[in-house]
């Protein structure tokens, strides 16, 4: 199994390449259809000029391109030294294809939901409803479900849905500064991929590597000063993918003796910064008597900047 790390790097590189190529195309498309983030009178905005808003679509397209490329190219590795390691796992690609398709469908849904919000400014209730549907797809058919210490399927389903809603909105809140959310997500995806790799979850690790690569490629256009924003389409997508990775990675097996029960806290540590920011901002806005979904400058990033 010594060659698997090379495969993960190849997957990450492919995601980065697709993202680097596709992001300028989506930027031009945003300019053509006049989809911009216009600061107007929104005081919490950190930019002064209209900025293209299709970055989420670029990340999603790069991820989907990497997944499709990976499934199509696996059989062409027979003439490479890597084939010896992956040969016994190739039949497993068929067994995970449906779940992968459902996860990809949820990713597209998350991107479209955020894109619709970017264009038409949805109400909070409608947005939560859309997030619930997308989470239900991943949990019910994608197999992204929290099961640790939960024996009742209905409770596990509800907890998993809550996890998705929490992470999606935490990343949405965290996207308040150039390169911050996508950079943090890239690091988090990398840690999830490493955690999955150490457990021998090769397909999960590859999904994490693909997500990290797609995010990293977009970061080069999104770091300060950003030439394109990912918008709610990007924050919804990244939140959805991070929540998915948090569920798919196996952290603890009862009776195995391989890890401590406290291993289930790993996702909370990996996503600790955006989770802390979301909870802190919500508490501050509640104390000030403001709606929790209205943007301001009370995020931890703004405090560090000050």
pLDDT tens by residue, the chain, 306 residues? 557 888 899 999 999 999 999 999 999 999 999 998 887 645 555 555 789 999 999 999 999 999 998 888 766 666 666 656 666 666 667 778 899 999 999 999 999 999 999 999 899 899 999 999 999 999 999 999 998 778 789 999 999 999 999 999 999 999 989 999 999 999 999 999 999 999 889 889 999 999 999 999 999 999 989 999 999 999 999 999 999 999 999 886 655 555 566 778 899 999 999 999 999 988 988 888 887 777 777 788 878 888
pLDDT at res. 86: 64
Please state, in angstroms and as integers, the Cα–Cα distance from residue 154 to each residue in 145, 146, 157, 158, 213, following that order: 11, 11, 5, 6, 35
Q: Are 250 and 197 in contact (CB under 8 A)?
A: no
pLDDT at res. 292: 72
pLDDT at res. 238: 98
**Coil/strand/helix, residue 112:** helix
Please state the pTM of the whole predicted model: 0.90
Q: What is the residue-wise DSSP string for 49-77?
A: S-EE--HHHHHHHHHHHHHHHHHHHGGGG
**To which residue do tokens 């998993």 refer?**
160
CA torsion angle for 133, 139, 144, 148 (degrees, to 10)? 130
pLDDT at res. 140: 96
Residues 6+ positions from 292 with CB-CB distance below 8 Å: 281, 282, 285, 286
DSSP state of 142: S
pLDDT at res. 2: 59
Angle in degrees, CA 282, 179, 39, rounded to 5 = 70
């Amino acid at each position: 199994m010594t060659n698997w790390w090379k495969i993960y790097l190849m997957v990450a590189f492919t995601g980065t390449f697709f993202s680097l190529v596709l992001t300028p195309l989506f930027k031009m498309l945003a300019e053509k259809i006049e989809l911009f983030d216009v600061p107007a009178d929104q005081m919490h905005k950190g930019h002064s000029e209209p900025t293209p808003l299709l970055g989420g679509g670029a990340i999603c397209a790069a991820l989907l391109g990497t997944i499709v490329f990976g499934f199509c190219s696996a059989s062409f590795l027979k003439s490479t030294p890597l084939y010896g390691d992956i040969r016994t796992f190739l039949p497993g690609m068929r067994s995970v294809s449906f779940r992968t398709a459902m996860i990809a469908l949820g990713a597209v849904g998350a991107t479209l939901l955020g894109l619709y919000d970017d264009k038409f400014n949805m109400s909070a209730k409608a947005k939560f409803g859309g997030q619930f549907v997308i989470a239900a797809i991943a949990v019910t058919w994608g197999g992204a479900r929290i099961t640790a210490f939960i024996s009742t399927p209905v409770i596990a389903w509800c907890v998993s849905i809550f996890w998705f809603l929490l992470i999606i909105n935490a990343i949405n809140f965290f996207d308040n500064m150039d390169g911050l959310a996508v950079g943090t997500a890239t690091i988090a995806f990398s840690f999830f991929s490493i955690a999955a790799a150490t457990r021998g979850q090769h397909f999960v690790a590859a999904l994490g590597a693909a997500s990290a690569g797609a995010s990293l490629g977009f970061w080069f256009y999104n770091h300060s000063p950003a030439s394109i924003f990912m918008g709610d389409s990007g924050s919804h997508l990244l939140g959805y993918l991070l929540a998915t990775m948090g569920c798919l990675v196996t952290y603890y097996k009862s009776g195995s003796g391989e890890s401590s029960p406290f291993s289930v806290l790993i996702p909370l540590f990996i996503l600790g910064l955006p989770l802390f920011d979301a909870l802190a901002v919500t508490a501050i806005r509640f104390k000030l008597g403001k709606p929790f979904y209205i943007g301001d400058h009370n995020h931890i990033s703004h405090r560090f900047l000050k």
